[in-house]
Amino acid sequence: MPWIPRGLREGIVTSRYPRRPDGYGDGFSGTLVVRSAPAPAGNLDTAIAGCPTGAITRGDGRVRLDRGRCILCGRCTVACPEVFRFDPSVEVSTTSRQTLFVPEVDEDDQALEAARSELHRRVRALRRSIHVRHLDAGSDGSEEWEVAALTNPVYDVQRLGIYFTASPKHADVLLVTGVGAAGMLDPLRHTYEVMPHPKVVIAAGTDAISGGLIGTGYASLGGVSDVVPVDVFVPGSPPTPFGLLHGILSAVGLLSPAGSKRSLALARRDADGPASPEDPPVEAGP
């Protein structure tokens, strides 16, 4: 039984996230950021023209990137490194489609906070045991690999009280991947309708947010937000397991969305014990 000496040699491999910070390292291409440094016009034009999803726009003297369309191909970082660079952050999920634009689009902070508060109030009852129904609405399969990884020993979502269910009638969270293919629109609507209240919808990946490379056409709706009310957007092509985990925990009010430093230990009142045998029990605060 080779797994016994391997286990003794490697020890506990399960992540402590979100009780402890974790990620994929400084060199990981987690998301793209836009710097305000000036750039040669030719380089910037090349970056805009080379973006396969039209995620980069320019107007009023500013350059803006839509993370909801970005597939992280990195062409812009090669063409115009003065403006675009990768960032290793994986906590990029948000409750507002508009906040996926960087630099952020001006938005009413009070309205955004009110929307977040309403979501947290609505899902207050879901914080102890969370059942997720995953639905593929026309993906290329890459998101499914990342979703499946959540159940492996490294991420082990069950340690946080998160479980996948085959029945939407037992689900609290609807995790949607894919571009919103025409043939999946009715099953998507029906799945949402039969879920009990309170319920939350997560658009996982660039395809589910905007249609990605496929975009909008005769066979694709260009995202799923016109079919079901999306509460949390998780960008990425595909989103990482840590990104998906951040999105799920944000959706049910156990973590705050991108931009907040609030941890699970501060947000969760009903801590069920240590995240792993090496972690001490956490006293959750207000």
pLDDT digits (tens, 9 = 90+) for 159-179: 988 999 999 999 999 999 999
Q: What is residue 96's predicted lDDT score, i.e. its pLDDT?
A: 87
Q: What is residue 53's predicted lDDT score, i.e. its pLDDT?
A: 94
SS (H, E, C) 83-100: CEEEECCCCCCECCHHHH
The alpha-helical segments, DSSP class H, found in the chain are 3-10, 41-50, 75-79, 109-122, 142-149, 185-194, 206-210, 241-251, 264-267
Residue partners of 282: CB distance under 8 A and separation at least 6 = 19, 265, 271, 274
Establish if 118 belongs to a structural domain.
yes
Q: What is residue 88's predicted lDDT score, i.e. its pLDDT?
A: 93
Establish if 273 belongs to a structural domain.
no
Establish if 67 belongs to a structural domain.
no
Domain range for 125? 97-267
pLDDT by residue for the chain (286 residues), tens only, comes to: 666 676 666 677 899 998 888 889 888 999 999 987 777 778 899 999 999 999 999 887 788 999 999 999 999 999 999 999 999 999 999 888 888 998 876 555 665 666 666 666 666 666 678 899 999 999 999 999 999 999 999 999 999 889 999 999 999 999 999 999 999 999 999 999 999 988 999 999 999 999 999 989 888 999 999 999 999 999 999 999 999 999 999 888 777 655 444 444 334 433 344 444 444 433 333 3
Q: What is residue 281's predicted lDDT score, i.e. its pLDDT?
A: 38
Tell me whether residue 25 is exposed, middle or buried, using C-beta atoms within 10 angstroms of its C-beta: 0 to 12, 13 to 18, 19 or more.
exposed
Establish if 192 belongs to a structural domain.
yes
CATH code at position 234: 3.40.50.12280
Q: What is residue 8's predicted lDDT score, i.e. its pLDDT?
A: 64
DSSP 83: T
Establish if 104 belongs to a structural domain.
yes
- Using CA atoms, how far apart are residues 210 and 236, in angstroms rounded to an integer? 11
In the beta sheet, which residues pair with residue 175? Answer: 134, 202
Q: What is residue 260's predicted lDDT score, i.e. its pLDDT?
A: 46
The alpha-helical segments, DSSP class H, found in 21-108 are 41-50, 75-79
Q: What is residue 184's predicted lDDT score, i.e. its pLDDT?
A: 94
The pTM for the full model equals: 0.84
Asked if residues 178 and 214 have their Cβ atoms less than 8 Å apart, the reply is no
- Using CA atoms, how far apart are residues 33 and 15, in angstroms rounded to an integer? 26
Asked if residues 157 and 122 have their Cβ atoms less than 8 Å apart, the reply is no
Number of domains making up the chain: 1
Establish if 153 belongs to a structural domain.
yes
Radius of gyration of the chain (CA): 19
Establish if 17 belongs to a structural domain.
no
Establish if 217 belongs to a structural domain.
yes
